[in-house]
Structure 1
Amino acid sequence: MNIALLANPTAGKGRRAALLPAVVERLAEGGAAVELLEAGTQEEAREQAREAVRRCDALVAMGGDGTVHLGLQAVAGTGVPFGIVPGGTGNDFAVRLGLPTDPLEAAAAIRQGRTRQIDLARLEGGDGTTAWFGAVLAAGFDAFVNERANRMRWPKGPQRYNRAIVEELLALRPRRYTMSLDGTETTFDSVLVAVGNTESYGGGFRIVPGADPTDGLLDVVVAEPLSRLTLMRLRPKVLKGTHVHDRRVSTHRVRTVALAAEGVTAYADGERICPLPVTITCVPGALTLLG
């Protein structure tokens, strides 16, 4: 068996980078050949992963949700088995799939060779962008926070994200959205819109509780215009998924979502994708998951 390993040693602040040789050794048990993909840029890594899928028996991603997202672009819809060795801070996709969070245990589970089919979401943007995602697409407050944090050069680390939250709260205003759910179109004002294949993002925030990556459907959560104080009071409830019981929050379960709004950039699996409009479709069984 030939395994290509896409590893990001900087994921999770580099805390698990030292485990990379042991992960390679664990994956190679039983005589498998493990090829470590080396790339200097994200685009190089994306191309190497796609090339590896054409010649290898499996692709394994070691890193956080961003590394997994990159790997999904290469394997989605190909039938080539995909393994995940969690190495990030949140690891939302792996956790919601019930995979081991310990890297060595995850590598051992991959070597057992068991596979299962998992749904993925396929996105098409109005600007021609196409992408796959496994966890959650954000197109509201949390997307704006990510966008602001990515523009900042100071402070470093988690404090940059915290500062972005505060600044976005101060700038908070509803946006006008047009959304089509399986062909039924509505227009509304909102501060938060999320589309999920699995439940959580941001390290355990269960923004779309109950999302099942094997049911062939996407879960959609929409919050009506909220004050800054109300939004912050709801945020802790997202950790438990109980925010959906608030009368100002609506949920939907559909096959296809089309979403448009001025000045909104979509983020999926924590990665910047493209400006709205986008059309998102659940593709049943698009991922052959190892472990």
Structure 2
Amino acid sequence: MSGRDDIAVLANPQAGRGRHRGLLSGIVDRLGAGGRPVRVLDARTAEDAEKLCHRAVAEGVTALVAVGGDGTLHRALQAVAGTPAGFGVVPAGTGNDFAAAVGVPSDPLQAAEAIAAALRAGRDRAVDLARVTTAAGDVRWFAAVLAAGFDAVVNERANRMRWPRGPRRYDLAIMLEMARLRARPYTLEIDGADHSFTGVLVAVGNCPSYGGGMRICPDADPGDGLLDVVIAGRLGRGALVRLKPRLRRGTHVSDPRVHSFRARRVRIDAPGIVGYADGERIAALPLDVGCEPGAVRLLL
């Protein structure tokens, strides 16, 4: 039976291609250093993970801790967003974009120690999240970036592929989608104003980066109560290839075909696009996205 002083841990042993798998016991030890009981949620699937997180939060745990990458964090967020439970992040994935944006130590053991110290001190930090409402009325939360352009199309292609495995599958998906690149008509509303356009890229950022450090929304701040929206108009294959290296530095926003906005509410629609947030599949467009200031109590 769980108690209100418990720390619940959602861990993904496959995160980061398993390179931190052996650290879980050390992470649990450090989380429990303050005397609170720690339990690891036994999740076999992504859906199971969300159910167990919801149950733990409903039972009144002091903290829910996600050990993994942005995908693991995304699952835990669905339960903890908008609740009094503290939220801890131990970065152990290939992409740890939210953790990097909010200043979580990159070393998993140090991150666990920081969470334990915050709990001992009764310290937390209110951090914004983005709330997505789908056409069916379902609600999803995300922490980093929503992709709704060429990058989302690549993710959708990669998820349908069974070969090759690993990063090469994503590389192949890029090549295949690049060959059929086309601009799409987007309906885009930003705080009620029409910014519809025809183009290849829409990203909505609560944090600056996605994909393990690509600074698609370089000025996004998860503490300002706003979302950053970055769009790109008609780009050919050559222009898109030339723009990609600039994503790491965030300098792509100086290109005249790229435009940035700040907003509290965004509505996006385009044919044939499925939105991805924190690297996870959300739903086909249209999507309504809003910034929820201080939606999570980050333990740091």
TM-score by length of 2: 0.96
Aligned to 2:101: 96
Q: Partners of 2:116 and 2:196 in 1: how far apart?
A: 49
Amino acid at match of 1:188: F
Indicate the residue corresponding to 1:70 in structure 2. 75
Where does residue 241 of structure 2 map in the other structure? 232
Corresponding residue of 1:143: 152
Look up the match of 1:222.
Answer: 231
Q: Provide the C-alpha distance between the structure 2 equivalents of 1:128 and 1:35, rounded to a whole number of angstroms.
A: 33
Aligned to 1:179: 188
Give yes or no for the alignment of 1:18 onto 2:27.
no
Equivalent in the alignment of 1:52: 56
Equivalent of 1:247 in 236, 240, 256? 256
CA distance in 1, matches of 2:277, 2:144: 7
Cα offset, 1:79, TM superposition: 2.1
Tell me which amino acid in the other structure corresponds to 1:235.
K
Counterparts of 2:250 and 2:31, CA distance in 1: 35
The one-letter amino acid paired with 2:19 is R
1:82 match: 87
Kept in 2: contact 1:93–1:135 (CA 8 A): yes
- Percent of aligned pairs with the same residue? 57
Amino acid at match of 2:222: P
SS of the counterpart of 1:266? strand
CA offsets, 1:121-145, max 9 Å, x none? 0000112221000000000000001
Whole-Å separation in 1 of the counterparts to 2:226 and 2:248: 22
Once residues 205 and 30 of structure 1 are traced to their aligned partners in structure 2, the CA distance between those partners, rounded to angstroms, is: 36
Q: Which 4+ runs in 1 deviate beyond 6 A? A: none
Q: Which residue of 1 aligns with 2:66?
A: 61
Q: Does the Cα contact within 8 Å between 1:119 and 1:197 map onto a contact in 2?
A: yes
* Amino acid aligned to 2:288: T
SS of equivalent to 1:204: coil
Q: Deviations over 1:66-107 (max 9, x none)?
A: 000001100000021000011101101101111001110000
- Kindly report the root-mean-square deviation, in angstroms, between the aligned alpha carbons of the 2 structures: 0.7
Deviations 1:199-253 (A, max 9, x none): 0000100000110111100000000010101001000001000000000000000
- Tell me the amino acid that sits aligned with residue 225 of structure 1: R
Please tell me whether the aligned partners of residues 24 and 34 of structure 1 are also in contact (alpha carbons under 8 angstroms): yes
1:270 corresponds to which of 274, 279, 282: 279
CA distance in 1, matches of 2:84, 2:187: 35
CA contact (8 A) 1:205 1:238 kept: yes
Counterpart Cα distance in 1 of 2:227 and 2:293: 10
Gapped regions of structure 1 (runs ≥ 5): none
The CA deviation at 1:30 is 2.3
Q: Which residue identity lines up with residue 279 of structure 1 in the other structure? A: D
Matched residue type, 1:3: I
The aligned amino acid for 2:44 is G
Decide which moves more: 262-271 or 122-131: 122-131
1:131 to 116, 140, 146: 140
Q: Could you tell me how far 1:39 is from its partner in structure 2?
A: 1.4
Letter in 2 for 1:87: A
Structure-1 separation of matches of 2:24 and 2:33: 15
Give the deviation of 1:40 after TM superposition. Answer: 1.3
TM-score normalised per structure 1: 0.99
1:36 aligned to 29, 37, 40, which one? 40
Residues 79, 286 of structure 1: 8 Å contact kept: no
Residues 129 and 274 in structure 1, CA contact (< 8 A), matched pair in contact too: no
Q: Distance in 2 between matches of 1:30 and 1:209?
A: 37
Question: Do the aligned partners of 1:192 and 1:224 also contact (CA within 8 Å) in 2?
Answer: yes
Equivalence for 1:205: 214
Q: In structure 2, what residue type is equivalent to 1:290?
A: L
Q: For this pair of structures, how many residues does the alignment match? A: 291
Whether 1:190 aligns to 2:203 is: no
